[in-house]
A and B are shown apart, each in its own frame.
Chain A
């Protein structure tokens, strides 16, 4: 069964450093998403991506964040200068259609900023 994969499973970085979280969505999906979950809090939407551009983004997704689909398979989330409060679990998701359709989630990357 096809699944969304994410690497690494755990990333530790120093405050101020750049990190790139990687995702491989399901191959025939066209819509891609990033969510995050700070420990003890709810899962929050960050950004959605379609046709090589951002479709929607939340207020969390500020200038420190960017997303990219560098090739036909990867979907990345970059944080330019990490802050302590960026420590969270980051989930990638993909779907094959817009609006009200199931999103398939990856296992997450746990980011720890020291």
Chain B
């Protein structure tokens, strides 16, 4: 069975400081993992995805994530937060049948 745990429901950082959003997954086989972002009143937008290629994945807007099989983690990072990064972030694992299993989301606040 597949599942995702986002360890923080809310993260608050100052503008210009690093961002770390944590995600742990459970999967009975080699998973595909995604990070999506949702800005208010907008759809879910893909930030990046891991599909068994390089373990360090670079996405849009300076975000990246590292797949660590030994730790079953796929944490999202960004070196320097921008005000426009304030949003809800979802970690997602995909099943063989292409069902997406979502984490509960992490709300990121960026303080000016």
| Total interface residues in chain A, CB < 8 Å | 28
Instruction: Tell which of B18-26, B63-71, B78-86, B100-108 binds the partner.
Output: B100-108
Give the segment of A14-22, A72-80, A98-106 that binds chain B.
Answer: A98-106
Minimal Cβ-Cβ distance residue in B for A57: B99
In the complex, how many residues of chain B place their beta carbon closer than 8 angstroms to a beta carbon of chain A?
23
A37 to chain B: closest residue by CB: B102
Complex CA–CA separation, A55 to B98 (angstroms) = 10
> A4-B43, A91-B44, A102-B34 are known contacts. Are A42 and B102 too (CB-CB below 8 A)?
yes
> For the complex, is B96 an interface residue (Cβ under 8 Å from A)?
yes
Interface string of B15-48 (1 = CB under 8 A from A): 0000000000000000010101000011111100
Cβ A99 vs Cβ B96 within 8 A:
yes
Chain B residues proximal to chain A, CB less than 8 Å? 32, 34, 36, 41-46, 49, 51, 90, 94, 96-105
A-B contact pairs, 5 of them (CB 8 A): A31-B98, A42-B102, A48-B99, A103-B98, A106-B43
